[in-house]
């Protein structure tokens, strides 16, 4: 697929996978509209992209939990760029707390960002994407296939995303819309630093060894390849593929593996 002069909208693009995607698409000649709450950071990224790759780049301040903000992301992009070819629903937040200990506000915030943010943006971009035979991408997780301890809200949001986008794909089998659910493995980023604790506050530090994880740039490269091939589902690691397989054939065995894995976290929630 030739991305030259395509227009790509990326939410949650001020850091991590979103930022890496913006740069990778720009390298391929695509014009970029990036959205997040941190407007100054977005402007720095867009300025750098424009100088390095000579493509159009638009920064849009937005909180994806707000429907009007999501509508504005799409409207601003159409007004400035004239079209939208790809929407990547990347904005997301994690959490780390046992369900018995947490304030229910934790689950609400995670669902509002991860699930409803993707729904809102997709709703307003859909007519344009269908018109252009475009792609809508959901950045999900293996947590959307297997519930993870201490991540009840995160897993719930990713299961919801997977179901929503699978249904959307079936609805659009004959419209030309490409729908892809992308599931990275554990990725080195600040998502675990800002993960919500039991009181709905950022926990402040990661609970895992970030050095052994995929880089955001590796994830971005795989996602772009998946879009180019118009894949339905993109599970990026052998561990992820094994998890999905075991969930189908040996779920009780997988429960024990997952439990044991999370007992090895820093300051584990389960022992």
Per-residue pLDDT tens over the stretch 2-16: 999 999 999 999 999
> Is this structure's pTM higher than 0.85?
yes
For residue 59, what are its two tokens? 């920064």
CA distance 271 to 269: 7
62 touches 69 (CB < 8 A) = yes
- Is 39 among the catalytic positions? no
Higher per-residue confidence, 205 vs 100 = 100
CA distance 65 to 116: 7
Per-residue pLDDT, 253: 97
77 touches 9 (CB < 8 A) = yes
pLDDT of 236 over the 80 cut: yes
pLDDT digits (tens, 9 = 90+) for 130-162: 999 999 999 999 999 999 999 999 999 999 999
**Torsions phi, psi for 218 (to 5 deg):** -65, -45
First to last CA, the chain: 48
CA atoms within a 13 Å half-sphere pointing along the CA-CB vector of 78: 13
Report domain 7-237's class.
alpha beta
Of 53, 120, 145, 154, which residue is the catalytic one? Answer: 154
Candidate from 62-71, 108-117, 155-164, 197-206 with smallest mean pLDDT: 197-206
Distance of CA 169 to the CA centre of its chain: 17
Candidate from 56-65, 187-196, 230-239 with smallest mean pLDDT: 187-196
């Amino acid at each position: 697929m030739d991305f030259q002069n395509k227009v790509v909208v990326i939410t949650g693009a001020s850091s991590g996978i979103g930022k890496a995607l913006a740069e990778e698409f720009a390298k391929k000649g695509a014009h970029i509209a990036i959205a997040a709450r941190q407007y100054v950071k977005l402007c720095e990224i867009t300025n750098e992209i424009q100088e390095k790759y000579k493509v159009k780049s638009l920064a849009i301040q937005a909180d994806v939990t707000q429907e009007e903000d999501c509508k504005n992301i799409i409207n601003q992009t159409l007004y400035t760029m004239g079209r939208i070819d790809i929407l990547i629903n990347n904005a997301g937040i994690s959490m780390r707390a046992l369900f018995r200990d947490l304030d229910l506000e934790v689950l609400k915030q995670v669902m509002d960002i991860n699930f409803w943010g993707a729904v809102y943006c997709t709703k307003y971009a859909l007519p344009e994407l269908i018109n252009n035979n475009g792609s809508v991408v959901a950045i999900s997780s293996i947590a959307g296939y297997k519930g993870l301890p201490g991540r009840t809200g995160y897993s719930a949001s990713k299961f919801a995303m997977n179901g929503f986008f699978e249904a959307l794909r079936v609805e659009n089998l004959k419209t030309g819309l490409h729908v892809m659910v992308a599931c990275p493995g554990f990725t080195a980023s600040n998502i675990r630093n800002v993960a919500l604790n039991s009181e709905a506050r950022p926990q402040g530090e990661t609970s895992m060894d970030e050095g052994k994880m995929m880089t955001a740039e590796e994830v971005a490269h795989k996602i772009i390849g998946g879009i180019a091939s118009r894949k339905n589902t993109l599970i990026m690691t052998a561990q992820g593929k094994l998890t999905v397989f075991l969930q189908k054939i040996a779920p009780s065995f997988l429960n024990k593996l997952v439990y044991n894995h999370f007992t090895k976290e820093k300051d584990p929630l389960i022992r």
